[in-house]
Amino acid sequence: MNSDIRNKLKELQDVKYRDFQKNLIPTVAPESIIGVRTPELRKYAKQLVKEEDVFEFLHRLPHDYFDENQLHAFILSEMKDYDVCIEEVCRFLPFVDNWATCDQMSPKIFKKHLTELLEHIKRWIASSSTYTVRFAIGMLMQYYLDAEFDIDYAELVAGVKSDEYYINMMIAWYFATALAKQYDNVLPFIEDCRLDSWTHNKAIQKSIESYRIMPEQKAYLKSLKIKKSEIS
């Protein structure tokens, strides 16, 4: 099955899209990008997830091509059995090596199992792997900022300390989204400078760019930015 999948991906190749992607995903070797557009990958994933031998592809890790990782993420996103899905996500996460695969892996079935999912998130967020941590924060942002919100989840994110750009960018994205959805609850994290200076300022920047933040809130957030002269 693996050779058939690779041949299919090469048939779907868009050379211009491949060249465009090379600049967007710097952590991926350019030669590993085939250049299959996302709608084509999603369509193919929906087909493959129904096939019994799909696990032959899923269990052959690591993949050689970025597009295979993308396809893998989209197949997991389509799985309907939570127990199988979470097992496969845990198997795959250590091999995720870029922001695109990390962020586009979003199993629909997770929404129906938020209590069980939370235990995995707590383990993932403590990982030493950049994209496992990023994925955990992304899941907290996607599923736990509305009715399921708890201040302890924001504490989990604020507690992540890293020099990794792709982790800190996701922390900033989380808090910008949290300010849009839970402004009063998470504002103290910004007021008390709970994040490192770069992430703090980036969260404010992304909040100010959001249409979901009120003008008076944006004005106040601007006043909380840490100036370069204040950064030790």
What is the per-residue pLDDT across 190-200, written as a single tens digit (0 to 9) for each?
Answer: 999 999 999 99
Sequence-distant (≥ 6) Cβ neighbours of residue 131 within 8 angstroms: 93, 96, 97, 98, 99, 101, 102, 166
Per-residue model confidence as pLDDT tens digits over 74-103: 999 999 999 999 999 999 999 999 999 999
What is the average pLDDT across 100-122?
97
Question: Model confidence at 228, in pLDDT bands (50, 70, 90)?
Answer: confident
What's the mean pLDDT in 211-217?
A: 94
Per-residue pLDDT tens over the stretch 145-183: 999 999 999 999 999 999 999 999 999 999 999 999 999
pLDDT digits 0-9 by tens, 37-78? 999 999 999 999 999 899 999 999 999 999 999 999 999 999
Which band of pLDDT confidence, cut at 50, 70 and 90, is reported for residue 231? low
What tokens were used for 41?
């990958």
pLDDT > 80? residue 220: yes
pLDDT of residue 2: 78
Taking Cα atoms as reference points, which of 197, 153, 159, 160 lies closest to residue 177? 153
pLDDT score, position 230? 67
Question: 78 exposed, middle or buried (CB, 10 Å; 0-12, 13-18, 19+)?
Answer: middle
> Can you give the pLDDT at residue 82?
98
Give the lowest-confidence range in 1-5, 116-120, 137-141.
1-5
Global pTM value? 0.95
The domain segmentation of the chain, as residue ranges, is 1-109, 113-225
User: Vertex 104, ends 133 and 12: CA angle to 5°?
Assistant: 140
Q: Which amino acid is at 8?
A: K
Distance between CA atoms of residues 220 and 183, nearest Å:
12
| Domain 113-225 coded CATH 1.10.3720.10 | no
- Please report the pLDDT score of residue 15 as a whole number: 95
| Residues 136-140, mean pLDDT to the nearest whole number | 98
> Which residue matches tokens 């997991």?
76
Across the range 111-140, mean pLDDT stands at 98
